[in-house]
Amino acid sequence: MAEEMRTSTRDLRTLHDRVATWLSGRTGGPVEVSELSRPSANGMSSETLFFTASWAGRRPVRCVARLAPETEAVPVFPHYDLGAQFEVMRLARERAGVPAPRALWFEPDPGALGTPFFVMEREDGDVPPDVMPYTFEGWLLDAPPGRRRELQDASVGLLAALHDTPFTRDELSILLRPDPGRGGGLRAHVDAQRAYYGWAHGDHPIPLLERAFDWLEAHWPDDPGPDVLTWGDARIGNVMYQDFRPVAVLDWEMAAVGPRELDLAWMIFLHRFFQDLTEAMGLPGLPDFMRRDDVCRTYQELTGHQPANMDFHLTYAALRHGVIMARVWRRRIHFGEQAMPDDPDDLVLHRTTLERMIAH
């Protein structure tokens, strides 16, 4: 788990000069740009660059640029709508009070860096890491139980604030898909996931994931519930914390319109994924953290909405994560970091968990 995954084929020195040239054009004068760097712990999709920029005598601005990955890097997703991410971050921050990073610039022209990108202010804080997972070691594992519960409740509060904000249809038009008819946002979301699976794995099908899609159809909710703006990748590994309180909510590329339970189930399941890995290694992890009943109870207290259809949504979260992680492992295979397993179902790292979920 500790081995770093390769996520980019771009040269940082070349990017540095192109960033400096582009930013000079944006600010209308000379700009000093520090050496570029990449994060080492979290993030396996969009490419992230860190730098500090100074111009016109103002204080240095610590920046983060997000770029769509190169085709040669075996991207996780087929499309990277960076303009939509930029706008959703702005809406979350300005309308919902969610501490998304301050959005600075969006550049739709690929001429500057070879792909569209956006720049946001860089925040400071502690992030529960993915590598090694926070259930194995680190500040969250070492924290007193009361502080972990404080972090958990505050994280659920992010979802409550976002979901309870009454965005207009025009504000959400960047995320709305053509009217899916019966089923609303959930139908559109699942259909998009099935299309994504076909893009990511159509040449080498994964039978377990296909059975999971069939399970969803057989257990479709009678009432999926109202549609809201969902964060998409709603997990604590995408949050910066200071003193166990959220100060920056990151990674909005999976934002969508759909039921509230999409985010709730994702937050619960992603912890379960790490917890299962930890227990498989004979370590205790955090069994009392992000439990389903606790998360749903807190959410209901904050919003008045009682989470529904959670068996369905947790299974869907496991399926979605399986599609993504199998794509990530295909990237590792491409770069020679991992061999292709004999059984394609082994590309699903939580295979046993998902098999149990769809067994009934």
Q: 103, 15 in Cβ contact below 8 A?
A: no
Residues 321 and 273: beta-carbon distance below 8 Å: yes
Residues, the chain, total? 360
Half-sphere exposure of 349 (CA within 13 A, CB side): 19
The whole-angstrom separation of Cα 328 and Cα 190 is 20
What letter represents residue 254's amino acid?
M
Q: 116: exposed, middle or buried (C-beta count within 10 Å: 0-12, 13-18, 19+)?
A: buried
Measure the CA–CA gap between 163 and 167, rounded to whole angstroms: 9
In the chain, where does DSSP find H-type helix?
Answer: 12-27, 82-94, 139-142, 145-164, 184-201, 207-218, 261-280, 292-303, 310-334, 351-357
Residue-wise burial string across 237-259, b where 16 or more C-beta atoms lie within 10 A, e elsewhere: bbbbbeebebebbbbbbbbbbbb
Please report the DSSP string for 85-118 in residue order: HHHHHHHHHHTS---PPPEEEEE--TTTTSS-EE
Catalytic site residue from 130, 170, 214, 233 = 233
Q: Tell me which amino acid residue 122 is.
A: R
* Burial (CB count <10 Å: 0-12, 13-18, 19+), residue 343: exposed
- b or e along 195-211 (b: 16 or more beta carbons within 10 Å of the residue's beta carbon)? ebbeebbeeeebebbee
Among 301, 46, 255, 296, CA closest to 162: 255
Q: Decide if 233 is catalytic.
A: yes
**Alpha carbon distance 279, 14 (integer Å):** 43
DSSP 3-state of 29: coil
Active site residues: 233
